Structure 1
């Protein structure tokens, strides 16, 4: 079939830390998500209504029809089409998928993930789809979603972990409790345990919000189902569930009157694309909390996936959703292990609010850093932060921060803001017992909660807007919002080894705490 297919730009993937051990069963069913071209999206200067977005920026019907017709020639069935998200899902046998996309599928094994379906090299698409299809996801199941959570160890001093009332007081939250708002939470593993939330809300004397679980290509697990899994898998799911329930409890404790929607997707590239597609195609949400990520230049990401996810984050921002993303818990090295500094994706996207981590020394917020500056079995960790080498610095981020790596571009600076990640941690429950936890994966739902309460305190006729650019602009008094509505964090750094260098806090904006930690009421008034 030479000449019938063309390479798909950005689809190349190397095999890392894995061994090919066999071929995929040709009769195995595979579902793929195809991303489609569309008009260039606007910058999120002001929100666009869903109706206007669908009319101006959705995938064209003729493109969807052409792609559907070509896929059907290979025996693939289109399962779902989302013009708004500019994508479609199709399924077929492994043999049909092989004929359509030439991925060279195999069964791989790695110490980290066990056995999974994977590929190496690039994907080829039918020549008729050249320029119409921008990505094909779901061929490779390698993991590209890792939690950014600190080890759950007891605080090193006698300070008690913080409860919702402590957080409201420390960050001066506005009084509104989220009524009329929907906050979404992204999860790529683990399970939500309603009994723990009920006990948590009862302990705090707060109303239990309505929590809806949405499976995106997967079925959310119950506690009973988790406990019936094989031991190794059960332990992994329980570990991830600690983090899932942390997200939900932080949001529920701070926004008891909001609607909470927890989206569960697979932890591969397809899961990322599908989850953000689902969020932007659903009812409007004011915030999406994301506590997962991976270094933006990790070999497990394909450049096509980075582009597809970033485009969907841009769509969310244009629709007025602020996506709050954890900056990472492994300092300047971000688990890569070379002699350069790295930042996490999707925190490095210019279409999210990137959240760094702090800890308390007495009443003072300082940059979160615990020896050795990255996570380990005995604790430790440090906020992510730095300068992107993938995404240029957006025009709205007019700050003077240079990369610590010689020769690097002036990329997007991470984070924009910060919140509690380290000691004294958050006072949470898991399987009925107290289990303090933290990390920037806790800072993200903290910020999502604040923005939900700010939205609830405003005139319902005023559409929410993507927050990040506003922080770098003047408020009505002529002062930059990042200076007027934040408590500056001036002490600490995120140096990890490797690379042995990193970024330091200072007066004003910096690459470890952004503008600092919020004065919630002041921020609400300024926007």
Structure 2
């Protein structure tokens, strides 16, 4: 047997072992295989309208998994007594099923039950092993463990946080009163931010599909109908897509429901005629990998932009997980799909003391640190009437309520970012890697977004709100442009630099890095000036 590179388990704090997992427990495993052929380098300076994107069918045929590789995994599964559940050639994966005893024996590893703040999970205690004939074919094995991997990047305002805790109610029951409604009096909506950031008018996202990745929670149709009615807009067409058994499962406002509602309501307010597809998956490395692949390669709904408001410090991912997701984002770039990711809500260190013991180091949040995604940081905005009077880096508390941002420990400095002035990491050694974020928008819960979730209205902030805000803007741009915007980063750091498409944020810090003129590791290039961004892309 040969050790699978990148499959060494990541140490996790605050877990208590409950002993070996039962041998008869059923496990579904996603086996990720190599590409049929490598992708050609993406042209970094090609403008929308001149880029050549692959169709999803072309991508599957040219760069998906080969039948021979999937057959090799299926033959291995048969010998090990595992069933083949599904083959996914475009996503380069095959799903196998068996008991814990069969799976751990087949992959030469071990698994235990562990208890943690979110419940009880399986956790691998050893790397994955492969038979020699699969060495070089298999690049990842996911699902043997199912410990929650990511956190939603939203924050309630102080008043709304208490209101949300007080709003616990029986499943499906509407509250007797609406006391919490008053907590959101100062919140902005996507409509408000679209005006403040000068998004192009006369566009509504028609013909576009916005994909949203969710690893828990759910939405209620009654909430969406009431919310968009309050904005004078029709409720967008929202479809729940199940991945790995994940479902639209609303429960309580302080759960992931707030994340789901925030994402849908912000994106839908900016682009009300765009279809919204919400991909629900379990919160695990397997669930995250499979949900992204499902959205990228969805040849039915064909999303042109993906919004992801979940993430975790790079150090908390396995190398195989980072690689599988980064390659999925690279595939999105080849397909002309823009991916927007929240940069985190716990400052430069990206480790909230409430979620474990910080290690004292700075961390970039993944997946925002992937070079193929648009990393979305946060600001704090002050407004008088319809005019922004000031905008600074969001930093209400550098350990628990501040924009993420910094320097990647996992991804090298991209060629298109070499002239941006990415600083050395503040960690020992001071290396220079991929700088995060690329852009920013209003995120402080003190100046947050008005969100209706589980029958009541709250004020919610976080970089979670910035990702769907940009996803809505991208949908508007894609509606107007002859081709989708696609991978925006090389354009932001190249032809769009100096075009006035972004308004620089030069004041503030995130507890590790400081804002300044030009790109910085707090707010990237700054906040959008929507009409100028569209004009620059059209010119």
Q: What TM-score, normalized by structure 2, do the two folds share?
A: 0.87
**Deviation, structure 1 residue 431:** 2.5
Change (3 A) 1:341 1:15: closer
Aligned to 1:98, the other structure's residue is in SS state: helix
Match of residue 508 from structure 2: 492
Q: Residues of 2 paired with 1:115 and 1:436: CA distance?
A: 31
Shift of 1:222: 4.5
Deviation at 1:158, TM superposition (A): 11
Task: Write out aligned runs for 1:12-161 (5 A).
Answer: 12-16=8-12, 17-38=14-35, 39-45=37-43, 46=51, 47-110=53-116, 112-154=117-159, 160-161=186-187
Post-superposition CA distance 1:409-455 (Å, at most 9, x none): 21000000001101321112122322011100011111111111111
Structure 1, residues 494-526: CA drift from partner, whole Å, max 9, x if none?
00xxxxxx1111111111010100001111121
Match of 1:519 in 2: 529
Measured after TM superposition, the shift of residue 56 of structure 1 is 2.1
Which of 220, 228, 252 is residue 193 of structure 1 equivalent to?
220
Matched-pair contact (CA < 8 Å) for 1:389–1:408:
no
Q: Which residue of 2 aligns with 1:378?
A: none
Tell me what 1:499 maps to: none
Q: Following TM superposition, by how much is the alpha carbon of 1:239 offset from its aligned partner in structure 2, in angstroms?
A: 1.6
Q: Deviations over 1:320-361 (max 9, x none)?
A: 111100000000111062332111000100010000000113
CA offset digits 1:32-71 (Å, max 9, x no partner)? 0011012223343343332332232111111111111111
* Among 395, 398, 407, the residue aligned to 2:415: 395
Give the whole-Å Cα distance in 1 for the aligned partners of 2:32 and 2:435. 28
For 1:11 and 1:241, the matched residues in 2 are separated by 32
The separation in 1 between residues aligned to 2:34 and 2:249, in whole angstroms, is: 38
The residue number in structure 1 matching 2:452 is: 429
Which structure 2 residues correspond to residues 174-193 of structure 1 after superposition, within 5 A?
A: 174-175=200-201, 176-193=203-220
Q: Is the 8 A contact 2:379 2:393 kept in 1?
A: yes
State which of 313, 316, 337 in structure 2 corresponds to 1:321. 337
- Aligned residue in 2 for 1:345: 366
Of 367, 374, 380, the residue aligned with 2:399 is 374
**1:109 aligned counterpart, secondary structure:** strand
Inter-partner Cα distance in structure 1 for 2:239 and 2:120: 31
Q: Could you list the runs of 5+ residues in structure 1 that have no partner in the other structure?
A: 227-234, 376-380, 496-501
Q: Equivalences for 1:442-457 in 2 at 5 Å? A: 442-457=465-480
CA distance in 2, matches of 1:56, 1:166: 43
CA distance in 1, matches of 2:104, 2:112: 11
Within the candidate set 281, 287, 301, 1:271 is matched to 287
Label 1:20 to 1:314 Cα distance change in 2 as closer, same or farther (>3 A).
Answer: same
CA offsets, 1:217-262, max 9 Å, x none?
1242444xx4xxxxxxxx5x85210111111111111111010000
Q: What is the CA distance between 1:159 and its match in structure 2?
A: 8.2
State the alpha-carbon separation in 1 of the partners of residues 213 and 449 from structure 2.
19
1:190, 1:238 within 8 Å by CA — same for their partners in 2?
no
Residue 164 in structure 1 maps to residue 190 in structure 2: yes
For 1:202-224, what per-residue CA distance to the aligned partner results, in whole angstroms no more than 9, with x for missing partners? 1010011110001101242444x
Residue 374 of structure 2 contacts residue 439 of structure 2 at CA under 8 Å; is this kept in 1? yes
Could you say what the CA RMSD is over the residues aligned between the two structures, in angstroms? 1.9
Moved over 3 A (4+): 154-159
Stretches of structure 2 lacking an aligned partner (at least 5 in a row): 44-50, 162-182, 352-356, 384-388
The CA deviation at 1:276 is 1.2
Contact 1:42/1:318 (8 A) holds in 2: no
Cα distance in 1, alignment partners of residues 451 and 81 from structure 2: 50
Verify the 8 A CA contact 1:14 1:121 in the aligned structure 2.
no
Retained in 1: the 8 A contact 2:184–2:450?
no
Deviation per CA, 1:353-408: give whole Å up to 9, x if none.
000000113422211010x3232xxxxx1000001111001111131121223423
Q: Which moved more, 1:78-87 or 1:175-184?
A: 78-87
Which residue of structure 2 aligns with residue 232 of structure 1? none
State whether residues 208 and 479 of structure 2, in contact with CA within 8 Å, keep that contact through their aligned partners in structure 1: yes
SS at match of 1:465: coil
CA separation in 2, counterparts of 1:143 and 1:222?
17
Q: Give the match for residue 310 of structure 1.
A: 326
1:139-191 CA-partner distances (Å, limit 9, x unpaired):
01111111111133249999822123321211111121100000000000111
Shift of 1:200: 0.4
Residue 291 in 1 paired to residue 309 in 2?
yes
Name the SS of the counterpart of 1:364 in structure 2. Answer: strand
Q: Distance in 2 between matches of 1:267 and 1:155?
A: 25
1: CA distance, partners of 2:87 / 2:297: 11
Contact 2:218 2:260 in 1 (8 A): yes
Q: Deviations over 1:431-489 (max 9, x none)?
A: 23220111000111111111111111223xx24421111101125xxxx25x5201110
CA distance in 2, matches of 1:369, 1:361: 14
Counterpart position of 2:433: 411
User: What is the aligned partner in structure 1 of residue 2 from structure 2?
Assistant: 6
- Name the SS of the counterpart of 1:278 in structure 2: helix
Aligned equivalents of 2:337 and 2:514: distance in 1? 30
Distance 1:37 1:174 in 2: 41
In 1, the alpha carbon distance for the partners of 2:382 and 2:147 equals: 40
Q: Separation in 2 of the partners of 1:14 and 1:489? A: 36
